[in-house]
């Protein structure tokens, strides 16, 4: 590859538990197998998958997957990412203070939007590093859907937003602004009632956060550009909640954010099951026959429901569809991931930019 070239990014989005991490890892295996220097950034993979990817002990620092020449893995460490973000965008003493601030830690560690933003910044860093041909981003569980794409804009709104302006006065903050916090008397009064310096500390935290505004809003725009030029893969199952989240990614994303390129239906049943079938098992007791018949019918219904959900999404949004079968054994090793890839239907690895020449 040309040194300094941006990595081709593939984002894997979708509701919780649908198989985002598994599919991210599988796509990364496919790209690496094709000789592309590939990094998969995942979040909290299942223990055995983490072991398979050599991620058990890891954080933001990419590490080569054992035995794989072209495959690296990293696991998003939100706290470390936020520390890096603050170091990048704030003056040293502000960064020191923020890192000490319990509210900062709480926000960075627990808020889904902060997690999504951290993942976005981390993604941008990796894309721009020029070290990889392909970057696969597994979106954080709490924000697997549309929130991931909205996070940069929201972060920009938060640090430049109305609440902060109200607290800090209209102008761009300098440390001295702290002493002019418009709302300070109110906060002090409330703190007296609450019996501690809670709100005042929060105000200081927000004020420090606001000094990040210039750097952060500039970065947020470049993250949005990366999100737009990335390929987006939406993972779903035929369950109502994942389907709703998948639909939102088509209907509620701002036009400027682009549009998903592929929907992957995961854990599908064989289509042939939808045809049902007659139970020919003479000699079985009637109760057993009934139970087996009910079972067959249930799986046939489920298979048809899946098919219908797939057709509906494809028809409504005119998007390419792929299916990954429900494997008997969960794909939590490199071999398992390869098996999943081999069993995939309609997975256009070339069009996703994962294999073949560019």
Ligand X SMILES: Nc1ncnc2c1ncn2[C@@H]1O[C@H](COP(=O)(O)OP(=O)(O)OP(=O)(O)O)[C@@H](O)[C@H]1O
Please state, as a whole number, how many other Cβ atoms lie within 10 Å of the Cβ of residue 341: 18
Strand order in the sheet with 38-42: 63-64, 71-75, 38-42, 134-138, 8-14, 231-236, 262-268, 320-325
Partner in contact with 326, chosen from Mg ion, ligand X, none, beta carbon below 5 to 8 Å by kind: ligand X
Instruction: Kindly state whether residue 266 participates in binding ligand X, applying the rule CB under 6 A.
Output: yes
Contact string 4-43 vs Mg ion (x = CB under 5 A): ----------------xx----------------------
Residue choice 9, 10, 13, 18 for contact with ligand X (CB under 6 A) = 18
Residue choice 21, 115, 122, 232 for contact with ligand X (CB under 6 A) = 21
Partner in contact with 18, chosen from Mg ion, ligand X, none, beta carbon below 5 to 8 Å by kind: ligand X
Do 7 and 134 touch, CB atoms closer than 8 A? yes
Going by their DSSP bridges, the two strands 8-14 and 320-325 should be labelled as unpaired
Contact string 318-337 vs ligand X (x = CB under 6 A): ------x-xx--xxx-----
CB of 143 or CB of 206, closer to Mg ion: 143
163: exposed, middle or buried (C-beta count within 10 Å: 0-12, 13-18, 19+)?
exposed
CB of 42 or CB of 81, closer to ligand X: 42
Instruction: Report the candidate in 72, 39, 41, 37 with the shortest Cα–Cα distance to residue 54.
Output: 72
Instruction: Kindly state whether residue 281 participates in binding ligand X, applying the rule CB under 6 A.
Output: no
Residue 318's contacts (CB-CB under 8 Å, 6 or more residues apart) are none
Residue choice 5, 6, 16, 131 for contact with ligand X (CB under 6 A) = 16
Residue 156's contacts (CB-CB under 8 Å, 6 or more residues apart) are 216, 217, 220, 221
Residue 308's contacts (CB-CB under 8 Å, 6 or more residues apart) are none
Contact string 126-145 vs ligand X (x = CB under 6 A): ---------------x--x-
* Residues of this chain that bind ligand X (CB under 6 A): 16-22, 46, 141, 144, 266-267, 324, 326-327, 330-332, 340
Site residues for Mg ion per CB under 5 A: 20-21
């Amino acid at each position: 590859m040309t040194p300094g070239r941006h990595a081709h990014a593939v984002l894997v989005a979708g509701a919780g538990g649908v198989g985002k991490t598994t599919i991210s890892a599988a796509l990364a295996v496919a790209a690496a197998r094709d000789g592309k220097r590939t990094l998969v950034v995942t979040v909290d993979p299942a223990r055995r998958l983490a072991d398979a990817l050599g991620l058990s002990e890891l954080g933001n620092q990419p590490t080569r997957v054992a035995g794989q020449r072209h495959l690296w893995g990293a696991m998003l460490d939100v706290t470390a990412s936020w520390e890096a973000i603050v170091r990048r965008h704030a003056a040293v003493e502000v960064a020191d203070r923020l890192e000490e601030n319990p509210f900062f830690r709480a926000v960075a560690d627990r808020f889904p939007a902060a997690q999504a933003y951290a993942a976005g910044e981390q993604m941008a860093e990796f894309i721009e590093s020029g070290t990889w041909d392909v970057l696969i981003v597994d979106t954080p569980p709490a924000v697997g859907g549309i929130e991931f794409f909205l996070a940069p804009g929201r972060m920009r709104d938060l640090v430049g937003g109305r609440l902060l302006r109200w607290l800090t006065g209209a102008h761009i903050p300098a440390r001295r602004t702290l002493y002019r916090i418009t709302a300070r008397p109110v906060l002090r009064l409330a703190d007296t009632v609450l019996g501690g310096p809670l709100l005042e500390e929060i105000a200081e935290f927000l004020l420090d956060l606001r000094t990040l505004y210039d750097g952060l809003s500039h970065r947020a725009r470049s993250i949005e550009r990366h999100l737009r030029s990335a390929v987006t893969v939406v993972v779903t199952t035929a369950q109502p909640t994942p389907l709703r989240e998948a639909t939102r990614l088509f209907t509620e994303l701002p036009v400027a954010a682009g549009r998903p390129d592929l929907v992957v239906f995961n854990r599908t049943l064989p289509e042939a099951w939808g045809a049902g079938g007659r139970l020919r098992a003479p000699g079985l007791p009637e109760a057993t026959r009934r139970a087996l018949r009910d079972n067959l019918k249930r799986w046939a219904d489920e298979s048809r429901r899946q098919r219908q959900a797939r057709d509906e999404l494809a028809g409504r949004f005119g998007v390419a569809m792929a299916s990954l079968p429900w494997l008997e054994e969960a794909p939590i090793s490199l071999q398992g991931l390869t098996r999943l890839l081999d069993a995939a239907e309609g997975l256009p690895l070339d069009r996703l930019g994962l294999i073949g020449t560019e």
